[in-house]
Amino acid sequence: MKNLKIGICGWGNVATGLYKTIKNNYDQITSNGNLNIDIAVIGARRDNPKCDPTNVKIERNIFDVINHDIDVVVELIGGVDTARELILTAIKNKKHVVTANKAVIFNHGNEIFKEAHNNGVRVLYESSVCAGTPAIKILSEELAANKIRKITGMLNGTSNFILSNMEEGANFASTLALAQKEGYAEPDPTFDIEGMDAAHKIGILSSLAFRTSLPPNDFYIEGISSIENIDFKYASEMGYTIKHLAIAKKNKESVELRAHPVLIEKIQYLANLKSVRNGIEIETDLLGILHVAGSGAGQESTASGIISDLVNLANSEKNTSNIDDHKIIPLADFLKLTFQYYIYIEADDIPGVMASITSTFADKKIGIETIVQKEELKEGIVPIVIITDPFLESENAELIKKIDELDSVKKVRSIRIEPF
Amino acid sequence: MKNLKIGICGWGNVATGLYKTIKNNYDQITSNGNLNIDIAVIGARRDNPKCDPTNVKIERNIFDVINHDIDVVVELIGGVDTARELILTAIKNKKHVVTANKAVIFNHGNEIFKEAHNNGVRVLYESSVCAGTPAIKILSEELAANKIRKITGMLNGTSNFILSNMEEGANFASTLALAQKEGYAEPDPTFDIEGMDAAHKIGILSSLAFRTSLPPNDFYIEGISSIENIDFKYASEMGYTIKHLAIAKKNKESVELRAHPVLIEKIQYLANLKSVRNGIEIETDLLGILHVAGSGAGQESTASGIISDLVNLANSEKNTSNIDDHKIIPLADFLKLTFQYYIYIEADDIPGVMASITSTFADKKIGIETIVQKEELKEGIVPIVIITDPFLESENAELIKKIDELDSVKKVRSIRIEPF
């Protein structure tokens, strides 16, 4: 049996969940994981009334945790700047690091991994993506022999919860309020619903699959706040639903990295994952399509991922990320990608409106796959739904602007269609 | 970088697929897996015209492979008795073993793991269940901290292919012929369609999750050959489809192990995996429900799993199965389990037939949830479809017999309904 002495930095929900899981599931961890985890010290600025860590030394300054006789610093303070400083200091003091903090890995991964490499220690971060649902280790170990072609992730539980409810007819605002009440969404949900959370996660997965850097260069990120209920109705009539996906795809000499809402066919696997579930579709040369789905948050799930990292640390020597292997691989230019689009238009119900819209497409030499004028929305206003042929992303903003400028058009928006 | 010298025993499709993958994906394996795999010797009774292993020593007697200066014997000869002997001999000669052979692990796992333990070597077998789709390592490593509650597997690609096609209206015999033509089914498909293949796989997963023995005691195994098209029609009308599932479930002091066709609700995840795909649903205390799905066969997928075992061998010290931990945990008595049943009856369309059938249920104090007499199948014969309340498996054979003995009943069969 291996033994690891750990120091836990941070004492919120995730940390107390980890503490309780190490106690409650001791038999599993020793028997399955061949590991005894000894919590030697906890760095907690203040006590947590929900959890009393009997017989564990408490440090009020989290940086003092590093000075204890421990093997691993478990960083659970969240945030970026202090977390980065804590992790780098731990590494310089020859401590391994386990973290569930996606923001710090996304923003400072390369710097952290390089420092770890130079100091002969390891940094593991399974719970930073989809909590305990295994994603990091599948990519870095189970699929080690595979050439990854594409990772398609539904990585944000809040967005999926909202879109799943909107699909059933609920509106955005009431569903967001429900998500906040149920604890699925933060009081300030911007990070989730504007796509940043999913973007962080796909950036981390891309670094494992394609050796893109952490942080990656800027890539296209769009959230779900512009989606309306009527889009689900019309998408559904054509066999689609709407999801927020984060995608990393290997092109010839670059990697396509993006996170935005898409129409996907209802028969697709990811279309059928509802509520707060997270799901990942990985396409490789050897396995074809692999699917993994599970809970993407929660203190127990996060504890599961952190403990799997500790088991890995104790029993294995393999680095998940070796900075020496990071070659600079450029990100694809988003504007040069090609998509089919769903375009929703509200227009005056007058003669000639279809002609003026279709002329706009013709002027830009953009093909239309289907165009349907729907029944009147209100007095004199009709929705028009278009599925385009594939065309360059760089043309889209201009096309939408031209349509919007038509006198008869009151509203227009577009959603990309994701091919599978 | 680690280095492993391996000897490959067997030179069929799986072995040549492994050989080619090690060559073709060298960059991935060294970079992601931190491993150089040196194929030192191949044990091949005869040459394989599809693959010429240039510069590799060939042994015509596979047992001579063990005498070479190698770290690992990769057993790909298939079958049980010779494979067992080869593996045990390799272990006694202090060679690690990697195998994709589910039959030998299912039938002799405990003996093999014990011998490996005594000789200080490891035996890994990721590809024995669902080929390269990670199942073994997820259970034994990623979920190390979890108390597993239930594993529900759709583990046989041939059965799933046939049932998926029957769901679309094709009949059993023509679909089986198609599966054989497409290479999804063996010339003799008995092992697949009678449930043995799925049973082997769930036995192996159960040994990891619940420490049941290998081989396990006898458990209930039933194949798909009694399912008829009309069952899909009536199941579908009630919101169900039909799948072949293999299940391992922790009860209070025993483990429920079984493999048979079931009705499952169409909204369930496993209901939506079609064609030859394999899928596993794992329920745990920390993660809730985890889903993994992928290809369950194929030489490239199998190579992916074997190489992940080699990467694990080179970089980790953790045993997947430590025989010292195997406590004897009994299997649940199948006859004492409780199910709801779908019961299909063909009966004479005469007055009193429903009364005589429902009386049979009443006599045995078995409740009926729904009973529907469908439209005439042919002149004077009506199908009657019943969903029962839950009752003991031990009552089912007798109930079906009593119904069958009714003068007006021409045909009766039952399918269990799997709760989720």
Q: Which among A340, A345, A367, A366 has a CA at the least distance from the CA of A240?
A: A340
Please report, for the domain that includes residue A103, its CATH number. Answer: 3.40.50.720
**Is B33 in contact with A134 (Cβ distance < 8 A)?**
no
Q: How many inter-chain contacts (A to B, CB under 8 Å) are there?
A: 180
Same domain, yes or no: B121 and B145: no
Question: Which of B109, B128, B147 lies at the terminal end of a domain, its last residue?
Answer: B128
For B267, list phi and psi in degrees, rounded to 5: -75, -10
Taking a C-beta distance cutoff of 8 angstroms, is the pair A266, A239 a contact?
A: yes
The three-state secondary structure class of B288 is strand
Same domain, yes or no: A153 and A269: yes
Q: What confidence score (pLDDT) does residue A328 get?
A: 72
Question: How many structural domains is chain A composed of?
Answer: 3
Average pLDDT rounded to a whole number, residues B84-109? 98
Taking a C-beta distance cutoff of 8 angstroms, is the pair B336, B385 a contact?
A: no
Average pLDDT rounded to a whole number, residues B186-194? 92
Cα separation values, B400 from B350, B364, B416, Å: 20, 11, 13
* In the predicted structure, residue B325 carries a pLDDT above the cut 80: no
Please report, for the domain that includes residue A147, its CATH number. Answer: 3.30.360.10
| A406 conformational bin, left if phi > 0, alpha if psi -120 to 50, beta if neither | beta
Q: Rounded CA gap, A28 and A217, in Å?
A: 41
Same domain, yes or no: B147 and B191: yes
Chain B nearest-CA residue for A308? B142
Q: Determine the longest span between alpha carbons in chain A, in angstroms.
A: 80
Residue B15 located in a structural domain: yes
Q: Which among A55, A74, A62, A64 has a CA at the least distance from the CA of A7?
A: A74
**Is B32 in contact with A134 (Cβ distance < 8 A)?**
no
Of B32, B307, B325, the CB nearest to A140: B32
Q: With bands split at pLDDT 50, 70 and 90, how would you rate the model's confidence at A316? A: confident
Chain B nearest-CA residue for A21? B145
Average pLDDT rounded to a whole number, residues B71-84? 97
Average pLDDT rounded to a whole number, residues B288-306? 95
Q: Rounded CA gap, A71 and A87, in Å?
A: 13
Q: Which residues does residue A247 pair with via DSSP β-bridges, in sequence order?
A: A152, A258
Same domain, yes or no: B353 and B236: no
Chain B nearest-CA residue for A325? B31
The three-state secondary structure class of B11 is coil
Question: Best interface-test mutation with B: which of A141, A184, A274 has the largest number of B CBs within 10 A?
Answer: A141
Q: Which residues does residue A382 pair with via DSSP β-bridges, in sequence order?
A: A347
pTM: 0.95
The three-state secondary structure class of A398 is helix
Q: What is the per-residue pLDDT across B155-166, written as a single tens digit (0 to 9) for each? A: 999 999 999 999
Q: What confidence score (pLDDT) does residue A187 get?
A: 87
**Is A291 in contact with B293 (Cβ distance < 8 A)?**
yes
Residue A233 located in a structural domain: yes
**Token digits for A9?**
């930095």
Min Cα–Cα distance to chain B from A130, Å: 11
Q: Helical H runs in A289-392?
A: 299-315, 353-363
* In the predicted structure, residue B175 carries a pLDDT above the cut 90: yes
Same domain, yes or no: B36 and B145: no
Please report, for the domain that includes residue B347, its CATH number. Answer: 3.30.70.260
CB atoms within 10 A of CB A361: 20
Q: What confidence score (pLDDT) does residue B320 get?
A: 64
Q: Rounded CA gap, B18 and B41, in Å?
A: 13
* In the predicted structure, residue A326 carries a pLDDT above the cut 60: no
Average pLDDT rounded to a whole number, residues A347-376? 95
Chain A nearest-CA residue for B36? A145
Q: With bands split at pLDDT 50, 70 and 90, how would you rate the model's confidence at A324? A: low
Percent of chain B past pLDDT 90, that is, above it, reads 88
Q: What confidence score (pLDDT) does residue B17 get?
A: 96
Distance of CA A30 to the CA centre of its chain: 32
Cα separation values, B149 from A306, B174, B249, B281, B286, Å: 20, 38, 6, 11, 10
Q: With bands split at pLDDT 50, 70 and 90, how would you rate the model's confidence at A360? A: very high
Q: What confidence score (pLDDT) does residue B321 get?
A: 63
DSSP secondary structure letter of residue A330:
P
Q: Which among B10, B95, B79, B82 has a CA at the least distance from the CA of B44?
A: B10
Question: Best interface-test mutation with A: which of B25, B39, B74, B142 has the largest number of A CBs within 10 A?
Answer: B142
Residue B302 located in a structural domain: no
* In the predicted structure, residue A9 carries a pLDDT above the cut 90: yes
The three-state secondary structure class of B351 is coil
Min Cα–Cα distance to chain B from A55, Å: 22
Q: What confidence score (pLDDT) does residue B420 get?
A: 87
Q: With bands split at pLDDT 50, 70 and 90, how would you rate the model's confidence at B185? A: confident
Q: Which among A60, A12, A21 has a CA at the least distance from the CA of A39?
A: A21
Q: What confidence score (pLDDT) does residue B328 get?
A: 72
Of B144, B287, B307, the CB nearest to A28: B144
Residue B319 located in a structural domain: no
Same domain, yes or no: A180 and A263: yes
Q: Rounded CA gap, B408 and B106, in Å?
A: 45
Query: Would you name the residues of A annotated as active-site residues?
Result: 201
Peptide bond into B261 cis (omega under 30): no
Residue B330 located in a structural domain: no
Taking a C-beta distance cutoff of 8 angstroms, is the pair A62, A86 a contact?
A: yes
The three-state secondary structure class of A165 is helix
Average pLDDT of chain A, as a whole number: 94
Q: What confidence score (pLDDT) does residue B327 get?
A: 67
Q: What confidence score (pLDDT) does residue A302 get?
A: 96
Residue B315 located in a structural domain: no
Residue B327 located in a structural domain: no
Q: Which among B215, B2, B263 has a CA at the least distance from the CA of B113?
A: B215
* In the predicted structure, residue A335 carries a pLDDT above the cut 70: yes
Taking contacts as CB-CB distances below 8 angstroms, the residues of chain A near B317 are 315-316
Q: Rounded CA gap, A403 and A357, in Å?
A: 6
**Is A293 in contact with B291 (Cβ distance < 8 A)?**
yes
Same domain, yes or no: A118 and A159: no
Taking contacts as CB-CB distances below 8 angstroms, the residues of chain A near B303 are 145, 286
Q: What confidence score (pLDDT) does residue A77 get?
A: 96
Q: Rounded CA gap, B244 and B158, in Å?
A: 10
Residue B312 located in a structural domain: no
Give one DSSP letter per residue of A171-237, joined into a string.
-HHHHHHHHHHTTSS-SS-HHHHTTHHHHHHHHHHHHHHH---SSPPP-EE--STT--HHHHHHHHH
**Is A293 in contact with B290 (Cβ distance < 8 A)?**
yes
Q: With bands split at pLDDT 50, 70 and 90, how would you rate the model's confidence at B282? A: very high
Triad A246, A18, A46: Cα angle to 5°: 105
Distance of CA B160 to the CA centre of its chain: 11
**Is A145 in contact with B290 (Cβ distance < 8 A)?**
no
Same domain, yes or no: A363 and A411: yes
Same domain, yes or no: A119 and A187: no
Same domain, yes or no: A100 and A210: no
Q: What is the per-residue pLDDT across A338-352, written as a single tens digit (0 to 9) for each? A: 999 999 999 999 999
**Is B144 in contact with A284 (Cβ distance < 8 A)?**
no
Taking a C-beta distance cutoff of 8 angstroms, is the pair A256, A331 a contact?
A: yes
Average pLDDT rounded to a whole number, residues A20-45? 95
Min Cα–Cα distance to chain B from A13, Å: 14
Taking a C-beta distance cutoff of 8 angstroms, is the pair A171, A179 a contact?
A: no
Q: With bands split at pLDDT 50, 70 and 90, how would you rate the model's confidence at B127? A: very high
Domain extent, residue A386, equals: 335-417
Same domain, yes or no: A177 and A216: yes
Of A141, A303, A308, the CB nearest to B308: A141
Same domain, yes or no: A167 and A207: yes
Triad B7, B12, B15: Cα angle to 5°: 40
Cα separation values, A139 from A144, A277, B229, Å: 7, 19, 40
Q: With bands split at pLDDT 50, 70 and 90, how would you rate the model's confidence at B329? A: confident
Question: Which of A128, A148, A179 lies at the terminal end of a domain, its last residue?
Answer: A128
Q: Rounded CA gap, A49 and A362, in Å?
A: 66
Q: Rounded CA gap, A39 and B147, in Å?
A: 21
Taking contacts as CB-CB distances below 8 angstroms, the residues of chain A near B21 are 145, 286
Question: Which of A128, A152, A181 lies at the terminal end of a domain, its last residue?
Answer: A128
Q: With bands split at pLDDT 50, 70 and 90, how would you rate the model's confidence at A243? A: very high
Q: With bands split at pLDDT 50, 70 and 90, how would you rate the model's confidence at A296? A: confident
Which of A122-126, B41-45, B180-184, B204-208 shows the lowest mean pLDDT across its residues? B180-184
Q: Which among A238, A295, A268 has a CA at the least distance from the CA of A152?
A: A268
Taking a C-beta distance cutoff of 8 angstroms, is the pair A217, A256 a contact?
A: no
Chain A nearest-CA residue for B308? A142
* In the predicted structure, residue A320 carries a pLDDT above the cut 70: no
Taking a C-beta distance cutoff of 8 angstroms, is the pair A246, A153 a contact?
A: yes
From the candidates B201, B243, B249, B250, which is the catalytic residue? B201
Q: With bands split at pLDDT 50, 70 and 90, how would you rate the model's confidence at B55? A: confident
Q: Rounded CA gap, B209 and A52, in Å?
A: 31
Determine the length of chain A: 420
Dihedral of CA atoms B25, B26, B27, B32 in degrees, nearest 10, equals 90
CB atoms within 10 A of CB B251: 14
Q: With bands split at pLDDT 50, 70 and 90, how would you rate the model's confidence at A327? A: low
* In the predicted structure, residue B389 carries a pLDDT above the cut 80: yes
